[in-house]
Structure formats: structure tokens, C-alpha cells
């Protein structure tokens, strides 16, 4: 019989027959799960909508990672995972946290950002650090933790509204750093004092490469530029599209862009230290909420 373990992730109780990488082990989650993840046979009806590896039918929302596993969200509370023959369990768990669990968050409402969430040292509110894959979001997040900050999530942040305030949650037990020599990521465990399950969001920082632009400086985005940057940094945007959420999500996106400061931060030739300095300076001088 497959062992079922309890975790905390996205500020919720999760039970799972698979490792939830970065999830915080929690036996108490077994008594009152809000999400259950099980291995099993995935059966679906004829798909009504297909977008890339995602398809939607009366059976639920399916993510088919060819050669690895099929992940069926029967509801926002239940995920069934069927591995392909010969696939590695580590890779199945990686895609569970990279795509399948965020898929459930989209189904629950709110917005999933492709970003790391950090509470800088001396602050109680979080900042989101977004940008293209490989630009250094996780590395920058780790540097801010080493400087006394706390982490809310590494690769994905679930953004919701609570009492009129923007709130984020994620998977805060680990952080994954890219290895320059191999095409893998190293998992860094986060100590309990350096992690937080949820926090108010005070700002969004979008990293961008600026090779050959030594004079590039941070820029506060407003209006259409802010909305474009916000939409571009959603996580797996095909998922809300296939769920038919685009029109209902747009007013939420616009509201967040009106209330959240959004900045573009240059990354000059991999100079993460310089980007960290820019963000630290802006947090200290321009963002008034502590």
C-alpha cells in the first residue's frame, strides 16, 4: 500500500502519495486535507478543449506530460497522477509542484504568478520577483534570505484578495537553484525561521536581461505597461485560458496593477548582486508598507 504523507503548501493542508518537493511535512494535515493527491488510473471523457499539454472535459482538467505522467485535476481538491511506464518518480514529483499543483490553484480562483515571494529583512510584507526562466529569480531570492529575509514561495505564488488586500502563498520549504554545469536544479532546504506560508504582497519586481545596456536603471511601470508586465508573468497562462477564466481574471489583474507598485529591474550580464541592490534600495525608499 502506498504511503500517504501530509504537507503544508499554498497555506493549505495537502495529503499526497507522491513527494511534494518543497512542501512542509505536517502530520496534522492528514486529519483535514484541503487537497488530496493520489496515484491511480486516469480516465477522461472526450476532451472539449485542448491547449498544448492541457485538455478539459467533463472528467476535469488534464495535464499530459508525455513520457512522464498524466495529472488529472478532478476538482480543485483532488489530483490523480498516472505515471508512464519507466518514468522516474523524482521527475514526476518535480512536475507535480512545477505545473500540476499550480493548476489546482488556478482552478481555485485568484492568480498564479511565475515568481518567487520574499519578505525582505525588517519587513512584514512580501515582494514578488518575476522574470523569464533562468534569469536568476531563485538565486536572488536565496541572496535575500541569506540577508535575513523569509521565503513565501520559490517558483509560483498564488495571489488572492483578502479583505481588499493582495495576499500571496506558495511552497516555502525549499528553494531550487540552477546548476551552471548540468541541466538540473539543486534543492536547498529552508530553515523554519526563514519561511512563511502567506503574506501581504507589497510590490512586484520583474527582472529583465540588459546585455550591452550598462546604463539601464530600474523603472516603475504604470498603466498599460504595468498590466502587460503583470499578464506576461502569470504562471502557465494556458491553464486559465483553457478554464475559460480570461475575461473574469482581467478585472482582477487591472485592480492589482492599480494598487501594487510594479518595477522593471535590469540584470546586467548575470549581475544578481546589482539587481539585489536595486531592489533593496527601492524597498527601503519607495515602498512605504512595512
Instruction: Assess if residue 290 is contained within a domain.
Output: no
Total of domains in the chain: 2
pLDDT tier for residue 187 given thresholds of 50, 70 and 90: confident
Which of 55, 86, 107 is where one domain is finished? 107
- pLDDT tops 50 at residue 51: yes
Q: What is the pLDDT of residue 290?
A: 41
Tens digits of residue pLDDT in 150-173 = 999 999 999 998 888 899 999 999
Asked if residue 75 and residue 123 are part of one domain, the reply reads no
- pLDDT tops 80 at residue 64: yes
Is pTM beyond 0.85? Reply is yes
Asked if residue 277 and residue 158 are part of one domain, the reply reads yes
Asked if residue 158 and residue 53 are part of one domain, the reply reads no
- In sequence order, which residues have a C-beta less than 8 Å from that of residue 63 and are 6 or more positions away? 53, 54, 70, 71, 72, 73, 95, 99, 100, 103
Asked if residue 235 and residue 136 are part of one domain, the reply reads yes
Domain that holds residue 10: 5-107
Asked if residue 53 and residue 39 are part of one domain, the reply reads yes
Please give the DSSP secondary-structure letter assigned to residue 97. Answer: I
CB 93 within 8 Å of CB 20: yes
Asked if residue 179 and residue 76 are part of one domain, the reply reads no
Asked if residue 44 and residue 97 are part of one domain, the reply reads yes
Give the torsion sign (CA, 58, 60, 66, 70).
negative
Asked if residue 223 and residue 203 are part of one domain, the reply reads yes
Asked if residue 62 and residue 181 are part of one domain, the reply reads no
Asked if residue 48 and residue 12 are part of one domain, the reply reads yes
Tens digits of residue pLDDT in 110-122 = 999 999 999 999 9
Amino acid at each position: 500500500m502506498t504511503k500517504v504523507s501530509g504537507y503544508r503548501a499554498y497555506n493549505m493542508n495537502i495529503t499526497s502519495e507522491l513527494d511534494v518537493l518543497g512542501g512542509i511535512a505536517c502530520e496534522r494535515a492528514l486529519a483535514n486535507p484541503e487537497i488530496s493527491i493520489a496515484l491511480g488510473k486516469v480516465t477522461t471523457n472526450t476532451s472539449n478543449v485542448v491547449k498544448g499539454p492541457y485538455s478539459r472535459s467533463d472528467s476535469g482538467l488534464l495535464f499530459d506530460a508525455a513520457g512522464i505522467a498524466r495529472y488529472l485535476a478532478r476538482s480543485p481538491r483532488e489530483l490523480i497522477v498516472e505515471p508512464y511506464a519507466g518514468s522516474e518518480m523524482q521527475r514526476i514529483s518535480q512536475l507535480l509542484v512545477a505545473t500540476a499543483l499550480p493548476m489546482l490553484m488556478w482552478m481555485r480562483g485568484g492568480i498564479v504568478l511565475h515568481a518567487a515571494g520574499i519578505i525582505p529583512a525588517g519587513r512584514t510584507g512580501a515582494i514578488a520577483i518575476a522574470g523569464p526562466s533562468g534569469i536568476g529569480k531563485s538565486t536572488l531570492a536565496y541572496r535575500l534570505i541569506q540577508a535575513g529575509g523569509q521565503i513565501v514561495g520559490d517558483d509560483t505564488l498564488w495571489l488572492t484578495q483578502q479583505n481588499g488586500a493582495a495576499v500571496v502563498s506558495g511552497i516555502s520549504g525549499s528553494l531550487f537553484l540552477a546548476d551552471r554545469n548540468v541541466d538540473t536544479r539543486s534543492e536547498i532546504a529552508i530553515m523554519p525561521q526563514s519561511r512563511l506560508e502567506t503574506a501581504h504582497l507589497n510590490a512586484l519586481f520583474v527582472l529583465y536581461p540588459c546585455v550591452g545596456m550598462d546604463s539601464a536603471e530600474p523603472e516603475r511601470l504604470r498603466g498599460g505597461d504595468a498590466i502587460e508586465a503583470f499578464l506576461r508573468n502569470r504562471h502557465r497562462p494556458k491553464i486559465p485560458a483553457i478554464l475559460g477564466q480570461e475575461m473574469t481574471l482581467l478585472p482582477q489583474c487591472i485592480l492589482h496593477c492599480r494598487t501594487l507598485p510594479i518595477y522593471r529591474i535590469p540584470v546586467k550580464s548575470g549581475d544578481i548582486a546589482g539587481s539585489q541592490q536595486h531592489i533593496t534600495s527601492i524597498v527601503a525608499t519607495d515602498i512605504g508598507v512595512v
